[in-house]
Structure 1
Amino acid sequence: MTQITAGWIDDPHTQQVCEMLTGAGYECYFVGGCVRNALLDVPVNDIDISTNARPDHVIELATAAGLKPVPTGIDHGTVTVVAGGTPFEITTYRRDVETDGRRAVVDFADSINDDALRRDFTMNALYADQKGVVVNPLNGLPDLLARRVRFIENADRRIKEDYLRILRFFRFHAWYGDVNAGLDAEGLAACAANLAGLETLSKERVGSEVKKLLTAADPAASTASMAACGVLNAILPGADAKYLPVLVHLEQQTGTPSDPIRRLAVLGGENVKTKLRLSNAEAKQLAQLRTEIGSLQSPAALGYYLGADMARDVILLRAVLMETPLDETAFEQAKAGAAVQFPIKAADLMPAYQGAALGEKLKELERKWVASGFALGKEQLLGKSKDQSK
């Protein structure tokens, strides 16, 4: 018997939600990420529960127990019950009635086995009861412990139910897979055979999966496999995965946390904002990184103009893409640049300069100050300005 021991299971609020269901004669099982992560001893962020209770019964039971039910996805059988400030997503057992590669028509089921069969990977079809005892209806536990991402039953059929599972396959391998063992051969073949299905997905869903993948500690092997089987070019034309392992190595060497936008910058690709539906802030960050990689700005200047973190990213990307050794002292220079303040204020140039001319003069003096390595002081800068305004 395999049993999970975790603080979140023993928490009184968790047990209260479980007893709300079991006390009324219904089944109650933790499922998916919370079970998978607990077994791998990695942080659990969300607690999902599966039950044979129908959504309207869940709402009634929660209300009677003094808890707050929120019908977050009631059309799909999901009710979020809040206990002690913690949300518990409770979903009725389901089975697929019809799928079209983007969405499924589902019906409620009474069996945990039916519920397991509609999931994507064997490591996602793991359940645990109220006491943490693991229930393994599809024998996914050996796959999880071996860190083997494998589709449930027929990989091709699972993908045709929802083409986003192609990207989830690589994302799960990046987060949970055994890098040395490689990706499951049947799964890879099925992904390669269903590339056209990726075109049917919304850009938001694609972008979300890609960013999650690129946030993993080391997504290099997964991304290389995406490139090899055609998935990467299908979602991001022009992207090249060859520099990503180098960037990841330098990130780990310097203790730099992973960042999906920095990693997108090293992948390249055409029209990334639209293809992945990036937010305006993400698109701006990506554009700045790409621009500054080829600029002549010093590390200190980068720090001043972009901030220490963005400057660090540019320094890393330059080392990778220009294939030059990384000078870690550049990080300190960037931090120093981020801490300095331009000594000239608009009032220092008035009334000699007004309006647009004032703005241009401020920019001119700032450029000279930055080019001097921030060495020119206020008097020197103002002296030059007065000389030039005569």
Structure 2
Amino acid sequence: MKPLADLPDWLAGGNVPRLIGALAVDGDAVRAVGGAVRNWLVGMPPGDVDLATTAEPGTVAARAARAGFKVVPTGIDHGTVTVVVEGTGYEVTTLREDIATDGRRAVVRFGRDWRADAARRDFTINAMSLSAEGELFDYFGGRDDLAEGRVRFIGDARARVREDRLRILRLFRFHATYARGEIDREALAACIAEREGLADLSRERLRAEIMKLVAAPRAGATCQAMADCGLLGRVLGGVTTAAALDRLAAVERALSIGPDPVQRLGLLAVLTREDALRLRERLALSNAEFRRLDGIGHGWRIDPAAGEAAAKRLLYAVGPRGFRDRVLVGFARSGAPPDNPAWRALVALPERWTAPHFPVSGEELQRRGLAPGPDIGAVLAEVRERWMAADFPAGRAAVGALVDAALAGFVTGKQQSERPPDREY
């Protein structure tokens, strides 16, 4: 057994050993698999910790419940049960063997052979497993590939892609996360050869992979390679420039902010509202995601030289998140260096200025004699414009003067519109 000092933190103590202890009974084994193992080997945060086991799903559920853990049958028909321990969910999947594949989903049966289960996975670096004692099981050279910054399929690359065409996107996502240098030639050739199969994948699966890809550490160069071989356009329908992702990543590092997948997707593929509409359809985006991309399409052409007053008006109109989306995308597309003071001042504006509450209501206008109806909305809009132009004053006297001016202008305009035309003789 390895000493605890050699184990990853998440395996040395806490929830994971407790869960493994509850499941690894009566001759069944449990190991950590997937991203947590890869990330431990390269010194990255673990992310989600997934487990694999020889126990069948019903047995997993029963043992977890007996230990007092919450059980969610997220994919029990396919062998996966989610076990919640102290608020954290862990996917536990029974070892499987493929019976048939159609390029989208595999038909599987449960098994007990760890090597056979590893052999059905896509990449060598995704086929490793780690026991509770810290023993690494690596059947296909994944650890060496990970150390060399290589992402390659297990066995025949094209056969693996045919099993599930989503592996085309997974190749690029894994490359952007773990690889160095060029994309594996055999893997790339297989993905290009099977590109027609992308059209058969569900929009939800495409969305999940694209969001992970654009947030990966080397997304810029990888997306450019994907665009160069015609694969990115097949998924997104259009791309502005992948090089801008590298510029945004440099800005993020300079400002100590993490990657935002929706924002990065907007930078990569949205110039207009039509682009946002297209992505909503292709990737089954949520309404909130679409609104953010739509905002980028409408408003990324920001000029820092316009001044702080204009920036405040935008921040007031779209809120902090919408403002940052537009500013950071504009920053990256401008080509300005990450230390550009004008752009950095814009990025920081939501931290040093909070848009005030609009201090005028329809009730106040009625107290001043304006009749209820559409005129209320028209005057409120005019007051709001004057209030923003005056740099959002809060004092009662200043606000009252703006209301007076708006009402006077409204009354004058209405009188002129209602005056009968001059008669000609």
> After TM superposition, is the score higher than 0.5?
yes
What secondary structure does 1:216 align onto?
Answer: coil
In structure 1, the partner of 2:346 is: 330
In structure 1, the partner of 2:144 is: 142
Matched residues, number? 388
In structure 2, the partner of 1:176 is: 178
Give the structure, 1 or 2, with the largest relative contact order (CA under 8 Å, sep 6 or more): 1
Please give the alpha-carbon distance, in whole angstroms, between the structure 2 residues aligned to 1:167 and 1:2. 36
Q: Confirm or deny that 1:35 pairs with 2:51.
A: no
In structure 2, the partner of 1:253 is: 254
Q: Which moved more, 1:211-220 or 1:108-117?
A: 211-220
In structure 1, the partner of 2:380 is: 362
In structure 2, the partner of 1:200 is: 200
In structure 1, the partner of 2:296 is: 289
Gaps (5+ residues) in structure 2? Answer: 413-425
Q: In the alignment, residue 113 of structure 1 is paired with which amino acid?
A: R
In structure 2, the partner of 1:25 is: 27
User: Residues 130-173 of structure 1, C-alpha deviation per residue, up to 9 Å, x if partnerless?
Assistant: 21211111121111223322211222111111111111111122
In structure 1, the partner of 2:318 is: 306
In structure 2, the partner of 1:272 is: 279
- Cα root mean square deviation, aligned: 2.6
Given that residues 97 and 105 in structure 1 are in contact (C-alpha distance below 8 angstroms), is that contact kept between their aligned partners in structure 2? yes
What secondary structure does 1:36 align onto?
Answer: helix
CA positional deviation for 1:308: 2.8
What secondary structure does 1:95 align onto?
Answer: strand
Q: In the alignment, residue 222 of structure 1 is paired with which amino acid?
A: T
Gaps (5+ residues) in structure 1? Answer: none
Alpha-carbon spacing, 1:196–1:346, altered in 2? closer, same or farther (3 Å): same
Alpha-carbon spacing, 1:218–1:138, altered in 2? closer, same or farther (3 Å): closer
Given that residues 304 and 334 in structure 1 are in contact (C-alpha distance below 8 angstroms), is that contact kept between their aligned partners in structure 2? no
CA positional deviation for 1:373: 3.3
What secondary structure does 1:307 align onto?
Answer: helix
Q: Which moved more, 1:259-268 or 1:319-328?
A: 319-328
Please give the alpha-carbon distance, in whole angstroms, between the structure 2 residues aligned to 1:66 and 1:312. 44
Please give the alpha-carbon distance, in whole angstroms, between the structure 1 residues aligned to 2:349 and 2:11. 48
Given that residues 300 and 335 in structure 1 are in contact (C-alpha distance below 8 angstroms), is that contact kept between their aligned partners in structure 2? no
Q: Which moved more, 1:293-302 or 1:88-97?
A: 293-302
CA positional deviation for 1:199: 0.3
In structure 2, the partner of 1:316 is: 328
Max Rg structure: 2
Given that residues 71 and 83 in structure 2 are in contact (C-alpha distance below 8 angstroms), is that contact kept between their aligned partners in structure 1? yes
Please give the alpha-carbon distance, in whole angstroms, between the structure 2 residues aligned to 1:57 and 1:343. 62
Q: Confirm or deny that 1:340 pairs with 2:353.
A: no
Please give the alpha-carbon distance, in whole angstroms, between the structure 2 residues aligned to 1:80 and 1:332. 40
**TM-score in terms of structure 2 length:** 0.83
Q: Percent identity?
A: 37
Q: In the alignment, residue 96 of structure 1 is paired with which amino acid?
A: D
Q: In the alignment, residue 341 of structure 1 is paired with which amino acid?
A: H
Please give the alpha-carbon distance, in whole angstroms, between the structure 1 residues aligned to 2:27 and 2:92. 16
In structure 2, the partner of 1:224 is: 224
Q: Which moved more, 1:157-166 or 1:378-387?
A: 378-387
User: Residues 83-126 of structure 1, C-alpha deviation per residue, up to 9 Å, x if partnerless?
Assistant: 45544332221111111110101122221110001111111111
In structure 2, the partner of 1:234 is: 234
Please give the alpha-carbon distance, in whole angstroms, between the structure 2 residues aligned to 1:381 and 1:232. 52
Please give the alpha-carbon distance, in whole angstroms, between the structure 2 residues aligned to 1:372 and 1:324. 31
Q: In the alignment, residue 202 of structure 2 is paired with which amino acid?
A: S
Given that residues 127 and 134 in structure 1 are in contact (C-alpha distance below 8 angstroms), is that contact kept between their aligned partners in structure 2? yes
Q: Which moved more, 1:66-75 or 1:161-170?
A: 66-75
What secondary structure does 2:213 align onto?
Answer: helix
Alpha-carbon spacing, 1:114–1:2, altered in 2? closer, same or farther (3 Å): farther
